[in-house]
Structure 1
Amino acid sequence: MSPEPSARRSRVVMVEPALTQLTKLTANETHRLDRAIVALSVNPGLGTEVPGTLLRDYADEIDGVRVVYYVTALQTITIVAYVEA
């Protein structure tokens, strides 16, 4: 019997402001942020909805990171607009 296939991850894309913020992070901050982005790619619904927008806000208090993002209609691409670590 073959194992069940794992859930499909969404592709994560960062827009220019997030990429600029990323270049200012230390290696440790980038590592913590990477864990949050992997979690969002597996479950794009983790963040809370920002009222009146398509944006979602994900904050991981343990790792001290925040990601503002939105997910395409088919949930195949998660677009990151803002990062903070």
Structure 2
Amino acid sequence: MSPEPGPRRSRVITVEPALTQLSKLTASETHRLDRAIVAISVNPELGTAIPGTWLRDYSDEVDGVRVIYYVTALQTITIVAYVEA
């Protein structure tokens, strides 16, 4: 019998401003940020809702990263709008 599949992850898309920010990060910062983005893709509810918008703000104090993102209605795609590491 096959093992049970893990939680379904949403597909992550990064918009142009976040791509520009990513290009300026070091390898270590990118690695820390990748962990946060994977966590968000598995559980899009991790971040705090920003009132009056569709945006969510996720900060990981341990890794020192912040991601502003929104999730499509069916929670199949997570769009990253801002990153900070």
Structure 1 length-normalised TM: 0.97
RMSD: 0.7
Question: In structure 1, what is the equivalent of residue 6 of structure 2?
Answer: 6
Gaps of 5+ in 2: none
Gaps of 5+ in 1: none
Question: In structure 2, what is the equivalent of residue 79 of structure 1?
Answer: 79
Q: Which runs of 4+ in 1 moved over 4 A?
A: none
1:61 offset after TM fit, Å?
0.2
> What count of residue pairs does the alignment treat as equivalent?
85
1:5 offset after TM fit, Å?
1.8
Q: Letter of the aligned partner of 2:73 in structure 1?
A: A
Q: Letter of the aligned partner of 1:3 in structure 2?
A: P
Q: Distance in 1 between matches of 2:6 and 2:30?
A: 26
Structure 2 length-normalised TM: 0.97
Question: In structure 1, what is the equivalent of residue 33 of structure 2?
Answer: 33
The Cα offsets for residues 47-81 of structure 1, whole Å up to 9 and x where unpaired, read as 00000000000000000000000000000000000
